[in-house]
Structure 1
């Protein structure tokens, strides 16, 4: 992240503080609602940090492969015969300008030492040392599709111990467990066609077996984020990029969505940058648009003539920056401003919002600033949707501008 980019995003805190003070003059319910939106925005953007994902599973369950599939990059080497992952240490994995922290642990029930160095005698001791330094945001529990019924009780006992250790050592309210059935591509028929009814029958059977074992663990069950999710992490790289003709990943996008839903708010912005799945990028971007629209609507309702324009413009700018950031792009305040100008959105448009609201208020005298708030919120939402189309869906600038201008005409 460049200093320009970091300063621009982190500057949201001071803007939010000033807005908080201004909102003190509003009626209680309106003020409280707006301040809640501001707190959420600061949590998402201002307090953001790298997500921490812990991966647990038996040797050969495909832990390193799943990490690579989630990140869409060859982040971890994959062991073919001997256990590969050694000492359980928090590792910051990065590619481009995106980063995530992974605790890729030694396989449970290993019969031999791993290839990589580990001074600890057991996987549990190795993990205990890592957890004394940092607590995970989510735990992925992996079970190989062909082995879900083989000695799985011992694996779940290991998971039970690890989760209790996490809770005892971390200052957290909850850390969810996501159970994942891996290497479903190896189930008969051993091809990559997951529309095949025979293959899906075997996939469903594997998931049912793991779910049955999970339900038998009274401690583990309340901490599960979902039922067992079947996946395939099979893919191939060319020059450290996914070969689009050899990308056979299946349900990894669903897994990514589950993870995003259960990790802390302050980690989501960085997580979706890493995962690079359009569905979860759009989901978080729309959440950010909703928060910004709520804030701008509250500002538009304040009885301070024209005082809201710089604030609304500033929050629309931060909204565009956050959406561009989600898409994985390097972006500065200047770049975001240029996008708004290119879309025909500037202080002049903000003035039109205000004047249109005043005109409507003449027709509905009792509405007053409520109309202004509605126009500010709806206009901000339209700008946010345009940013999603441009940065995440990668629509052409001309098409996005035409759609946005048509929407603004409806509003004003």
Structure 2
């Protein structure tokens, strides 16, 4: 499913209603589903601590507050766009602090993605007057802003002597900890790796070894300055935030000219070329660095909404596979076929709801049968194999049920992965069927 603005909002709303939908679906299961199974479903799904924590994060997340410090031209706005994967830093100026710092809100429509305190390097800042130094003014602004993480941005192609910026951050981090009784996490980002020679290679997967080695040399250069100045950081990473944009009708546009476009085109800019390098790794680093859970979830909502959806769906899949395996331990052949089908249909329906679609149990059943091949024959054969294994109980008590359990759990997991491919990743049905077969084979090889 594509992450356009309306669908993002719909997805968030559906995710917030997830528990209500799950509870209602379990309560309204057909009478053929035993009450014991219903209770197990409710207790396992609604009582799962990890799932509950993820859902609470969606309900109570807040935009992360990011303090950016970097010299003019280092690419701070480009980094914000690269993190979000869309043109959002058409940032709107909401509060002007001093001549040296501004607080911005990055928005996607009406949704606030992140708050950013944007500053120049301390070496480029100027005093307000004879009584207030630029450094003191910035420290005051930063303490009022209470950032969740600080990002020191450096230029990969300019080996600046940033000792003054590093010393400032060191002083700031110490004062911030004293005032707020919490440390200020600092991440160093070396941007514009795409401009490192040979510059003709802009696609990260095509970076030659000599380019990568030069990038690593710059990282070591800046790391040396940081170490010598005694600044404690969470991590340091080299990235490229390069994205070329185009209008909805396919016209490529220079970043400098975007402001002159009609508002509709600005709101619907698309990626013409994606030259982002190690941005996913940077997101991992930022998530780990941010200490506040609500802000951490806010970063995921801003930059990794699909990943959050997939994480919840994967967790659901594991829960349902486990329940299916438990139910399939029933030693009586055929007794659990219908229950397993309903369980799998509930799983498919819940995964679809996470993606922003609302489908019925019957629609989910149709999806399951379509995975089994023409007219569901393949699925039927697998059910027969799963149930037939229970006749082994007559020879070796319990052995057939164990085989049945493994088949049921693996089959449910494969169906869940297929549903994620179709409803979350927006794959075609042919691609989804291929994914289903791969998941089955993987499950079988692990037994």
State whether TM-score is above 0.5: yes
List gaps (5 residues or longer) in structure 2. Answer: 1-8, 28-34, 93-97, 129-134, 248-264
2:421 maps to which of 389, 404, 409: 389
For 2:139, the equivalent position in structure 1 comes to 124
- Show the counterpart of 1:68: 81
Instruction: Quote the RMSD (CA, aligned, Å).
Output: 5.0
After superposition, give the CA deviation of every residue in 1:209-235 in whole Å (9 maximum; x if it has no partner): 1222344466624xx1x4332324353
CA contact 2:245–2:269 (8 Å) conserved in 1: yes
Aligned to 1:341: 366
Q: Residues 335 and 311 from structure 1, CA distance in 2 versus in 1: closer, same or farther, beyond 3 angstroms?
A: closer
Are the aligned partners of 1:144 and 1:181 in contact in 2 as well (CA < 8 Å)?
yes
Cross-structure match for 1:54: 66
Q: Measure how far apart 1:63 and its partner are.
A: 1.8
How far apart, in 2, do the equivalents of 1:393 and 1:249 lie? 21
Aligned equivalents of 1:9, 1:312: Cα separation in 2: 17
- On the 8 A contact 2:351/2:423 being kept in 1, the answer is no
Q: More deviation in 335-344 or 147-156?
A: 335-344
- Report how far residue 208 of structure 1 moved: 0.8
- Corresponding residue for residue 328 of structure 1: none
Residue in 1 aligned with 2:50?
40
For the pair 1:275 / 2:287, whether they are aligned, the reply is no
Structure (1 or 2) with the larger CA radius of gyration: 2
Task: State the partner residue of 2:258.
Answer: none
Mapped partners of 1:205, 1:44: distance in 2: 39
| Partners of 1:186 and 1:113 in 2: CA distance | 33
* Pair 376,314 (structure 1): closer, same or farther in 2 beyond 3 Å: same
Distance 1:309 1:236 in 2: 46
Give the whole-Å Cα distance in 1 for the aligned partners of 2:77 and 2:283.
15
Aligned counterpart in structure 2 of residue 374 of structure 1, from 406, 414, 422: 406
Number of residue pairs matched by the alignment: 373
Q: Note the C-alpha offset of 1:65.
A: 2.0
Whole-angstrom CA distance in 2 between matches of 1:169 and 1:17: 46
Question: Per the alignment, do residues 198 and 298 of structure 1 end up closer, same or farther by CA in structure 2, a change over 3 Å counting?
Answer: closer
- 2: CA distance, partners of 1:201 / 1:410: 38
Q: Secondary structure at the match of 1:178?
A: strand
Structure 2 counterpart of 1:299, from 304, 315, 323: 323
Q: Distance in 1 between matches of 2:70 and 2:390?
A: 66
Match of 1:9 in 2: 18
Partner of 1:117: none
Contact in 2 for aligned 1:53/1:140 (Cα 8 Å): no
In structure 1, the partner of 2:118 is 105
Partner Cα separation in structure 1 for residue 382 and residue 181 of structure 2:
48
- The alpha carbon displacement at 1:76 in A equals 2.3
Greater shift in the superposed pair: 401-410 or 376-385: 401-410
Any gaps of 5 or more consecutive residues in structure 1? 27-31, 115-119, 325-330
Q: Secondary structure at the match of 2:223?
A: helix
Which residue of the partner structure matches residue 220 of structure 1?
232
Say whether the 8 Å CA contact 1:52–1:101 is kept in structure 2. yes
Structure 2 partner of 1:140: 151
Q: Which residue of 150, 157, 161 maps to 2:161?
A: 150
